[in-house]
Amino acid sequence: MTFNIKKGFVLLVALSCLNVSCTDDFEEINIDPNRIEKISPGTLLNPTLYEMASFNTTRSNDFTFEIMQVGLPFPSASGGEHRYDIGENAGSSTWNTYYRWLTNIKEMHAAAVAAEDPNYEAIALTLNAWVYSLLTDSFGDVPMEEAARGEEGIFNPAFNSQQEVYTKILSDLDHASTLFDKSRKMIYGTDILYGNDISMWQRFSNSLRLRLLLRVSGKSEMNAESRMAEIINNLEQYPVFTSNAHAAILEITGIPPLISPWGRAVDFRTGRAAAAFFIDNMNELNDPRREKFFTQATSRDGKTQLGYKGIPSGYEGSDTQFEYTPSTMNIALVTAPMIAVIMSYAEVEFIKAELAQKGIIASDAQAHYEKGVKAAIEQWGAVMPADYFENPAAAYDGTFERIMLQKYLALYFTDYQQWYEYRRTGLPELPKTEAMLNDKRVPVRFRYPSTVQQMNAENYRKAVEAMGGDDINTKVWWERE
């Protein structure tokens, strides 16, 4: 599998030595922070990037693939998230992991402010916005203002509304854009994402701001459309991703500590099948990413290849009804060298395509659509066919549905983004079966973990009352009606 290695990335074979502490494992830095008497602004940057990107990659596989009909366990006689059978604590690891790293990001921000280093302050604000957006989009209202304040005696933090969270993180990203200073060097170690290139961090911060503004664009009080137009119409002041080389994609080299989050890569494809909806769409497009994402289906005896062929999500009956061995996940995706996608350039182009189609920006929606498709294909090391858009299924047809189908494909393996965008738009339209639970409705959030219900009961109760319930069907503030 071939990936583009970012310039300067190879310098990081010894990332565990982070200025004031040296360890063989990122986890050790976080688990026992008391071993570090005083952190520098860069001490927690690389551990945060690696651990968050790794965790999100595994959650793409464990949850998003199933809920969004990309892949499913096979055989799967009953239950499963692809049938919308969502357990009470399905989001517990997400809650715990994100708050753990938000605490570290808070320390990083404080260290940057104390060191009077605007670039590390801007990076900390960007990372904080990124993680809080994932957290609130997964649960709705969450503790923010009083979170990570145990040293002040606040052990049962109040919840902030999702509108309050978004207002704060978007304000922080606005502020971050004024802080980046390319004349100053990053002096506290070499970061594993951009190799200390401030211009790249600035592009990521502004691109993230577009993603989050689009997420809340249905809420008139956020003035999101004019704010997005301001960014896109002033790209010299607010640079965003304009090529795959700019994307926030972490290269996992396989050299410790940059190792694959899969202990055994074979587990990625064992007992799995590609979902028919995702793979059928790629077949209709004759998409060159198929061989990067999946194996070919075979006859039951394994002697005959049958092309790319999946299994319906939420299928009824026994797995013996399928007279073939379906396509499964390509093990190369989780075998280092591999990538963990934080935010892609393709996503930015699809955002622009949507805004242009809606008349929010004066630009060519088709051009942005085609750039987005090309970037999404090449991101995975596939070659863009010269005649790709001659296929009527791939050609831009002026519909929002066409943009969102390609965006769905482009968000493959990007944390929970396919799920969030489906909840924002209702697209792509996912097929249903009689074996799907939850009244055949796609769940729209995780329930709060049982530990939160028990240990922070009063604030939990207030949050549930404000949101209208703690249910997988309780819509969050920005979600479409």
Q: What range defines the domain where residue 358 resides?
A: 44-262+335-467
> Does residue 20 belong to any structural domain of this protein?
no
Q: Answer yes or no: pTM beyond 0.75.
A: yes
pLDDT of residue 48: 98
Query: How far is the C-alpha of 312 from the C-alpha of 431, rounded, in Å?
Result: 9
Which burial class, exposed, middle or buried, applies to 1 when counting CB atoms under 10 A from its CB (0-12, 13-18, 19+)? Answer: middle
Q: What are phi and psi of 105, to 5 degrees?
A: -65, -40
Residue located via tokens 């493959």: 412
pLDDT digits (tens, 9 = 90+) for 393-447: 999 999 999 999 999 999 999 999 999 999 999 999 999 999 999 999 999 999 9
* DSSP string computed for 143-208: --TTTT-GGGT--SPPPBPHHHHHHHHHHHHHHHHHH--TTS---SS--TTTTT-HHHHHHHHHHH
pLDDT of residue 37: 59
Distance of CA 222 to the CA centre of its chain: 23
> Does residue 21 belong to any structural domain of this protein?
no
Most distant CA pair in the chain: distance in Å?
Answer: 66
Residue 272: in which H helix or E strand, if any? strand 272-274
Provide the token pair at 275: 């979902």
Query: How far is the C-alpha of 136 from the C-alpha of 463, rounded, in Å?
Result: 12
> Does residue 358 belong to any structural domain of this protein?
yes
Q: What are phi and psi of 266, to 5 degrees?
A: -60, -25
> Does residue 12 belong to any structural domain of this protein?
no
Query: How far is the C-alpha of 223 from the C-alpha of 323, rounded, in Å?
Result: 53
pLDDT of residue 25: 53
Provide the token pair at 312: 């319906």
List the pLDDT tens digit at each of the 481 positions of the chain: 434 433 333 333 333 333 333 344 554 444 454 445 579 999 999 999 999 999 999 999 999 999 999 999 999 988 999 999 999 999 999 999 999 999 999 999 999 999 999 999 999 999 999 999 999 999 999 999 999 999 999 999 999 999 999 999 999 999 999 999 999 999 999 999 999 999 999 999 999 999 999 999 999 999 999 999 999 999 999 999 999 999 999 999 999 999 999 989 999 999 999 999 999 999 999 999 999 999 999 999 999 999 999 999 999 999 999 999 999 999 999 999 999 999 999 999 999 999 999 999 999 999 999 999 999 999 999 999 999 999 999 999 999 999 999 999 999 999 999 999 999 999 999 999 999 999 999 999 999 999 999 999 999 999 999 999 999 999 999 998 7
> Does residue 318 belong to any structural domain of this protein?
no
Task: Give the residue from 429, 432, 444 showing the smallest Cα distance to 480.
Answer: 444
> Does residue 481 belong to any structural domain of this protein?
no
Provide the token pair at 68: 């969004």
pLDDT digits (tens, 9 = 90+) for 269-313: 999 999 999 999 999 999 999 999 999 999 999 999 999 999 999
Provide the token pair at 215: 């997420």
Please give the tally of structural domains in the chain. 1
Query: How far is the C-alpha of 41 from the C-alpha of 204, rounded, in Å?
Result: 19
Residue located via tokens 């006689």: 77
> Does residue 373 belong to any structural domain of this protein?
yes
Cα R_g (the chain), whole angstroms: 22
CATH number of the domain enclosing 62: 1.25.40.390
Query: How far is the C-alpha of 423 from the C-alpha of 213, rounded, in Å?
Result: 15
Sign of the CA dihedral running 264, 102, 60, 251 = negative
> Does residue 212 belong to any structural domain of this protein?
yes
Going from the C-alpha of 216 to that of each of 100, 132, 167, 420, the distances in angstroms are 26, 14, 10, 11
pLDDT of residue 304: 97
For 313, residues 6+ apart whose C-beta sits below 8 A from its C-beta are 66, 69, 72, 82, 83, 275, 276, 277, 430, 431, 433
